[in-house]
Structure 1
Amino acid sequence: MKYNQLGDSGMNVSQVILGTATFGISPEGAAVDELVGHAIDSGVTLFDTSNSYGNQPDYSWPGATPWQERASSEELLGKALADATDEILVASKVGEPLGQARIDGPFVGHLGRDHVLEQAALSLKRLGRDHLDIYYAHQPDPETPAEEIVGVFNDLIDRGDIRAWAISNFTHADTEAILDAVKRTGLRAPIVHQCSYSVARRDRAEDVIPSLESAGIPMYAYSPLGMGLLAGRAAAKRDWGGHRRWGGPGFTDAQVEAAGAFEDAAAQFGHEPADLAIAWLLRKRPVLSVIVGSTSVRHLSTACAAVDIDLTPEQVAAIDAIRFP
């Protein structure tokens, strides 16, 4: 494993972070403990969760335990990390709609002061921790002033409930609004931005990168395999590819064709496509780490090995040239 210091926070973060969105569905029960233990043994130092992961209606698929009866991702992760050392870091998030509101919509952020304070306390209880290492504003909130958002996360730092705060899924405009509020208030800025970023899906991340680089804020990239599109042709064609497992659409023929071109490039370079997708991201700045939603020990081992892949500038350029519709 390789590591990067996260700003001046004192946190030493592995280049592979374990995401836990589907804990309670895949993996379930004792398999969660096994996967988390393997991650620690593999050198993973940061585990990423949210108050909206696991036991929510849109995280269900046929055969899964009903969402109302499932333990949350935070509860399962907290149990698995009960005996972990202080070197193991935990990040959680607040702001997404919860329960049936996720289905009924609208799917917008909720970052008002009272809600953030309430949910932070609940997350700490579910995780069995006295503080969070990183606490994210999970989705931008069009209704809450940026100064209020900045202020409540800074208050949580001052109270000792969190070590640092961060943003996730914020657009260029959303990010600029937060940074402007930081300048006006003189309060602490978000320490990192978490964004969907992959060879297959670049627009949102590339749109916000100039703001991050100007402010000196790094990025953690999630969904590095593009919902399975970058795991090869066969994976892209699976019945549960894309958003199909959640009741949404799968991949188009044009997307599968692009996935094939990416798989061919991986073979030419001597790598598996999933490995190449992660290695490519780790060459992109300001990406420091990649969040993988591995659901098995085997897949996590593959992801961790990808940090040791050295790509030439020519190989990176060849991958850059593969465009996905």
Structure 2
Amino acid sequence: MEHRTLGRSGCAVSSLTLGTMTFGHETDEAGAHAQLDAFLAAGGTLIDTADVYTRGASETIIGRWLARQPAEVRDRVVLATKGRFPMGDAPNDVGLSRRHLSAALDASLRRLQVDHVDLYQVHAWDPLTPLEETWAFLDDAVRAGKVHYLGLSNYAGWQVQKVADLAAHRGLARPVTLQPQYNLLVREIEWEIVPACAENGLGLLPWSPLGGGWLTGKYKRDQRPEGATRLGEDPERGVEAYDRRSTAQRTWDVIDAVESVATDRGVSMAQVALAWLHDRPQVTSVILGARTLEQLEDNLGAAGLHLTADETAALDAASDPAPADYPYGGPGVEQRTRLLP
């Protein structure tokens, strides 16, 4: 397993991350602990969770696993969690206010059975709470030793820049990472969000690297999902998104390109999609979210897999979102890329 620094911090993390959103919901505790064991055995170190994942169950499962590990294992783990979304029904049980985040962070530490987390991330933008209030609390949490580093999740480019400017202007702890959705089918973050992160030294921790399973090849053209897929087991779940994606020619162009590389390499389609993302600019670590140990073990096969320039170019061409007009397409491309004479 390769290691990289967590954004511009000095903290080294594995270039693949174990995501734990399935823990306590699609993956029971025994299965979750098996995934954690396998991930550490493969050389992984960064474990990502959130308080809202199964209303605290994911953190609780991780906490029980951590509690039975020897000190040398616990010391290798780089632990990340998030706060922002509802954890109760009261008006202050949600958001990025000092009141909610203070309670949310303390509750996460209790469930995880630790006195600090390495990376604490705000799970999404909060339009109701002044940014100054949120970031003052987060800076206090760093100074109190409850948090080592700060991160963002699901922020737009202008929001990333606003946080970076505020932290720099007021001398507060700066964010080191952003967690966005990013994969061969979702590349629009490259237009503004990735440049904003590059400008401010934030590493990317992409979630949904396999596009909800599309990039594994489990969905077929002109064939409704069935069987052991999330949509096959629950046909009403995400049917609109499925129909929208399945009718787009670009979807099948990308899948065909991934399959071609995978066949030539003798590896799985998932490993090809992960390898492509693993080596994108600004990516620190790719978050693997598996329901089963078998899925995780296949995903871990992407560790150390690097595509050739020709393979990468073929995937880039097939997955190019090709914005139609200004500011991202048309003359906007030239303005972003052309050097002054």
| Counterpart residue identity of residue 242, structure 2 | F
TM-score by length of 1: 0.86
Answering whether residue 84 of structure 2 is matched by residue 88 of structure 1, we say: no
Provide the residue aligned with 1:323 in structure 2.
Answer: 319
Of the three residues 211, 234, 237, the one matched with 1:226 is 211
- 1:65 alignment partner in structure 2: none
Give the aligned residue type for 1:20.
Answer: T
Note the 1:78-157 alignment, pairs <5 A: 78-82=63-67, 83=69, 84-98=73-87, 110-157=95-142
> Does structure 2 conserve the Cα–Cα contact (< 8 Å) formed by 1:42 and 1:301?
no
**1:200-254 deviations in whole A, cap 9, x for unaligned?**
1111354301111111111111110000110015478534456967832252333
- Distance change (3 Å), C-alpha of 1:205 and 1:148: farther
Q: Distance in 2 between matches of 1:278 and 1:260?
A: 13
Partner of residue 49, structure 1: 49
CA positional deviation for 1:271: 3.1
Q: How far 1:98 sits from its partner (Å)?
A: 3.6
Query: Helix, strand or coil for the counterpart of 1:133?
Result: strand
Distance (Å, rounded) in 2 between the aligned partners of 1:246 and 1:96: 24
Question: What is the CA–CA distance in structure 1 between the aligned matches of 2:177 and 2:220, rounded to whole Å?
Answer: 31
Residue identity over aligned pairs, in percent, reads 30
Change (3 A) 1:259 1:228: farther
Q: One-letter code of the match for 2:156?
A: T
User: What is the aligned counterpart of 1:208 among 193, 199, 205?
Assistant: 193
Equivalent position amino acid for 1:14 in 2: S
Residue identity in the other structure for 1:283: D
Aligned-pair distance for 1:6?
2.0
Aligned match for 1:251, one of 242, 251, 254: 242
CA distance in 1, matches of 2:100, 2:85: 11
Which residue, 281, 287, 291 being the options, matches 1:285? Answer: 281
Q: Which runs of 5+ in 2 are unaligned?
A: 322-341
Which deviates more, 247-256 or 16-25? 247-256
Write the distance in 2 (CA, Å) between the matches of 1:185 and 1:307. 39
CA contact (8 A) 1:74 1:126 kept: yes
SS of aligned partner of 1:196 = coil
Query: CA offset at residue 296 of structure 1?
Result: 2.1
Partner in structure 2 of residue 264 of structure 1: 260
Match of 1:312 in 2: 308
Q: Is 1:20 paired with 2:20?
A: yes
Segment of structure 1 superposing worse, 229-238 or 158-167: 229-238
Matched position secondary structure for 1:110: coil
Give how far 1:14 is off.
Answer: 0.6
Structure 2 residue corresponding to 1:238, chosen from 225, 249, 253: 225
What is the match of residue 169 of structure 1?
154
Aligned partners of 2:45, 2:32: CA distance in 1, in Å?
16
**Using the alignment, how far apart are the partners of 1:259 and 1:235 within structure 2?**
13
SS in 2 for 1:51: coil
> Which of 1 and 2 has greater Rg?
2
- For the residue of structure 1 that corresponds to 2:162, the secondary structure is helix
**CA spacing shift, 1:123–1:142, aligned 2, 3 Å:** same
1:118 Cα deviation after fit? 0.8
Distance 1:8 1:264, change over 3 A: closer
8 Å CA contact 2:184, 2:254 repeated in 1: no
Runs of at least 5 residues in structure 1 that lack an aligned partner in the other structure? 56-70, 102-108
Deviation at 1:147, TM superposition (A): 1.8
* 1:79-114 per-position Cα deviation (integer Å, ceiling 9, x unaligned): 11222421111100001234579xxxxxxx711111
| Contact kept? 1:219, 1:288, Cα under 8 Å | yes
Q: Which moved more, 1:232-241 or 1:304-313?
A: 232-241
SS in 1 for 2:53: coil
Structure 1 CA distance for aligned equivalents of residues 150 and 315 of structure 2: 33
Matched residue pairs, number? 303
Partner of 2:32: 32
- Distance, in Å, in 1 between the alignment partners of 2:292 and 2:316 is 29
CA–CA separation in structure 2 for the residues paired with 1:78 and 1:246 = 34
2:302 aligned counterpart, secondary structure: helix
Match of 1:181 in 2: 166
